[in-house]
Amino acid sequence: MRNYKAVLRLLIFFSFIKINAQNFELGKVSVAELREAQHPKDTSAVAAVLFKNGKTSFNYSLKDGFVAITEVTMRIKIYKKEGSDWANFTLPYYVGYENYNDDVVKFSNAATYNLENGSIVKTKLNNEGSFKKNVNEYWNEASITLPNVKEGSVLEFKYVLKTENIVKFPVYYFQDKIPVNSAEYTTNIPLFFTYKPIQIGFIDLKVDSKVANGSFSFDNQYHQTVSLSFNLLKNKYSAENVPALKEESFVDNIRNYQSSLYHELEKTNFPDEKEKNFSKDWDGVAKTIYADKEFGKELEESFYLLDDTRLILKGIDSKEERLAVVFKFVQERMHWNKDNGYFTDKGVKQAYIARTGNVAEINFILISMLKLVGFDANPVLISTKDYGRPVFPNRTGFNYVIAAVNIDGKQILLDATHKYTTQNILPLNVLNWKGRLIKQDGTSQEVELVSTKNSGKNYTLMVKLDKTGGMEGRCRSQLADYEAYNFRDKYAEMETDNYLEKLENNLNGIRIQGYTIDNKKTNLANPVMQTFAFSTNNHSDIIGDKIYINPMLFFTESHNPFVQEKRKMPINFEYPKFERYNISYEIPEGYVIESLPKPLKISTEGEELSFSMNVNSQDNRIQIAVIKEINFAVISGNFYESIKDFYQKMINKQNEKIVLKRI
């Protein structure tokens, strides 16, 4: 981007015009804004963004080339004490470049306004309220903490972010966790750059585009000031009355649905120069990543594995068993240092010797060992749930890597960093949309990360009731696939006494005795099996001569997790699952069955969810059979109302009573 001659040629082609100033000005806080006691459209809001105005434009210098400058001004109203956290604002900026100077962030015009005795009092930010912190080798953070903030305050500030990396603009957010009354973002892009704008979220943005004129001046190599005029594309994006982004049940990462705007550089087209394409397809990304010495070269390292590989596979011939042995060996030998990423840090050989490494080092060791014994194994790039989703082909959209093995046309996904993963059972944070398998030849392919196979919970209970409403019985449970992984990940390292105390509380205060568990830390491909005896006085009600019992006892659901009136975000259940309950009651002598819940079978229209309850009785026994199925990991928000209604019907049925009457 430092092509001086190309910039000078632009003088022939383009003309100059002044860029209009922003509509909102800092320092113009009104008494009405300070007196406003609650948000007019969301009375629960603890604060609100009164306006947020942003602008990205370009500058040029002979030394640094083109620089993208993003300026943002904000005014925030604090309604409640809990909203005071909005006095703290943090902006991350990149410092890990090889070919560019670090990004630069500067705050200014930061102040708090309060109404005191009918007059507006302004408190400026001093040096003690401004901070910069190193996060890691790639990122720093700039922060401010505004002073004298209380209920009723209005906050203002401006920040400028300068970057020489013009391949993509900083993400601009139109939505936040509090209401945004007005948000506007303007991009002033010289026409020798072409960017692709990508909108995320469910807020409709108003867009106004026009070709205008722009200019800037710079010193040439002779220290002479050169004025450059050019045509530019001016796009103004705006939104008003943007509702707060609120947490909801079954959301993978709420930031994936936050209304925002991304920009990726597609191409440059300077006069008298060949058009240069920056927008890559996935194969181009794969080639770039593989060419990095901390990726492709590290995957080629394998001689250090030869001796151990021969030793652990001695006498083992079948493909399936060899795969299982290699995976278990790497999983047990290596210890994850909790660092993500798809590039190595200290290198695979050193990590192997130290038995500790980051995600890339551990799974590269696994891939290399599998290749040594003849498997078709390749890395799969992933963006974890907390990292977001790649919105276009680029190498910075990923932060994790796993292994994929192809055996007779069947793909198996493996991650050796976690101690309780198995074949095609990955850490839950990795089940994020799709991954990208990349090969040494530069080709790549999309990989579905989310399982389509149901993971199951099976419960069998034998329950005996007494005349006082007390119960005793035995429970046997079986957890398979992701349900087994989820259990092991949470509880395998927990002391048994601590786990049982937690389990008793979760099951509404039952008392547990004779607890046993199989496959807790071993035989990870097999289900986790638990058995225990229990007793309780908390799961029945006696009114007069009748005993009332919830048919599903301590497994009864009582609250619908879907409380919003409407929803646009997808419903993410993480993986398909089913739950099966078989419960047998022995009623006490001297009692008869007065009424039982009627059988029910319901499902959503597309069979995304289904529920059935069958109730039978014979002599002094009652048999309850319940099956609940969630057949898709992710369901569109378009089906929200039917899913909410389904859950309510299911909960209502679970809370219908078995009624016993004394005779």
Task: Tell whether the model's pLDDT for residue 523 goes beyond 60.
Answer: yes
Element (DSSP H or E) covering residue 145: strand 139-145
For the chain, the helix, strand and coil percentages under 3-state DSSP, each to the nearest 5 = 20, 40, 35
Tokens found for residue 44: 């629960």
Tens digit of each residue's pLDDT (9 = 90 or more) over 257-282: 999 999 989 999 987 788 988 777 88
CA distance 324 to 318: 10
- Residue 15: predicted pLDDT: 32
Q: Vertex 655, ends 649 and 659: CA angle to 5°?
A: 130
CA distance 353 to 349: 6
Q: Which residues make beta-bridge pairs with 381?
A: 401, 436
Residues making up the chain, counted from first to last? 663
Q: Is the pTM of this model over 0.75?
A: yes
User: What SS3 string covers 164-184?
Assistant: CCCCECCCEECCCCCCEEEEE
- Residue 3: predicted pLDDT: 52
Tokens found for residue 187: 């991009």
Tens digit of each residue's pLDDT (9 = 90 or more) over 174-224: 999 999 999 999 999 999 999 999 999 999 999 999 999 998 888 888 788
Tens digit of each residue's pLDDT (9 = 90 or more) over 629-657: 999 999 999 999 999 999 999 999 999 99
Q: Residue 389 in contact with residue 432, Cβ under 8 Å?
A: yes
Query: Region 357-365: what's the mean pLDDT?
Result: 98
DSSP 213: E
- Residue 392: predicted pLDDT: 78
Where is average pLDDT lowest: 16-25, 136-145, 379-388? Answer: 16-25
- Residue 591: predicted pLDDT: 96
Burial of 441: CB neighbours in 10 Å, binned 0-12, 13-18, 19+ = exposed
CA distance 398 to 390: 7
Tokens found for residue 266: 């597609």
* Mean pLDDT computed over every residue of the chain: 93
Query: Region 488-498: what's the mean pLDDT?
Result: 97
Task: Tell whether the model's pLDDT for residue 376 goes beyond 90.
Answer: yes
- Residue 12: predicted pLDDT: 38
Helix axes 319-333, 359-372, angle to 10 degrees: 150
Query: Region 381-397: what's the mean pLDDT?
Result: 87
Query: Region 511-538: what's the mean pLDDT?
Result: 97
Task: Tell whether the model's pLDDT for residue 337 goes beyond 70.
Answer: yes
| 394 closest CA partner among 284, 242, 300, 234 | 284
Task: Tell whether the model's pLDDT for residue 93 goes beyond 60.
Answer: yes
Instruction: Say what percent of the chain tops pLDDT 70.
Output: 97
In the three-class reduction of DSSP (H, G, I as helix; E, B as strand; rest coil), residue 218 is classed as strand
In the three-class reduction of DSSP (H, G, I as helix; E, B as strand; rest coil), residue 294 is classed as helix
Q: Residue 262 in contact with residue 200, Cβ under 8 Å?
A: yes
Backbone angles phi and psi of 133, in degrees to 5: -140, 140
Where is average pLDDT lowest: 37-51, 109-123, 216-230, 232-246? Answer: 216-230
When pLDDT is cut at 50, 70 and 90, the band that residue 23 belongs to is very low
Q: Which residues make beta-bridge pairs with 116?
A: 119
Comparing 535 with 22, the larger pLDDT belongs to 535
